[in-house]
Amino acid sequence: MFKNKTFLAIIPARGGSKRLPCKNVLDLKGKPLIAWSIEAGLKSKYIDEVMVTTDDDEIIEIAKTFKANVPFKRPNFLASDHATRSEVIRHTIEFYEQEFNKKFDYVVFLQPTSPLRNAKHIDEAIEYMFSKKGDATVSVCEVEHPIHWSGPLPKDNNMSQFLDRVSVQSRSQDLPTSYRLNGAIYICDVNRFLEEGCVFLKNNIYAFKMSQEVSVDIDTRIDFKFAEVLMDEN
């Protein structure tokens, strides 16, 4: 609880993963990948409950072992590649209200693929959102390379329209700093979420900046290896 407001941490973890099979349970420095996010949520000063939503029996057992709540097994319609973040959040909010008559003021969506995001980051994001008097905050980090040097290519790979001449001739340090979503933290007022059906609210939403070093979002084997290297250095 923070400023008399309650927070539910939702950790989504499907059993299926095509690019990196079984990634949520892969051993990362002695723990299943998902355990890092569970522990981060449990160590937060402000989060009232940490729950895992999954369709996978192995993940359910791991989540319980690491002291997360697993109040349900995710229904089939939320177990496919097409299930969205918003659908998972709405289902969880409605389940808690209908089954437990339990309501939270905010949801904190923690993807298990961000193992370097810790409790300190979560608490700082909550504090930051309140300092801005916001209804939502989403974590970001600086892009690794200037977005001005990227763009789509036509089928014939013709580069005549690929980049504008100003960007091509500019030094990277002279270009404005750009940011990207890093997938680590999404916090949203529950009532605003239910009204708009999305954590990306139409207004009163702020970016919480994180460093690139803690912004690894594991989706491939390379991402996984990179996270291992960074953890070895810390």
Domains observed in the chain: 7-143+180-233 (3.90.550.10), 145-177 (no CATH)
pLDDT tens for each residue of 76-91: 888 877 889 999 999 9
Are 42 and 1 within 8 A, CB to CB?
Answer: no
pLDDT, position 129: 98
Residue 161 Rama label (left phi>0; alpha psi -120 to 50; beta): alpha
Mean pLDDT of 189-217: 96
Q: pTM here?
A: 0.90
E runs forming strands in 1-155: 7-12, 27-28, 31-32, 49-53, 106-109, 136-142
Phi, psi of 179 (to 5 degrees): -125, 155
Decide which of 35 and 80 is more confident.
35
Q: What is the mean pLDDT of the chain?
A: 92
Share of the chain above pLDDT 90, in %: 77
pLDDT tens for each residue of 152-173: 888 999 887 776 655 666 676 7
pLDDT tens for each residue of 96-155: 999 999 999 999 999 999 999 999 999 999 999 999 999 999 999 999 887 777 788 889
CA distance 198 to 86: 6
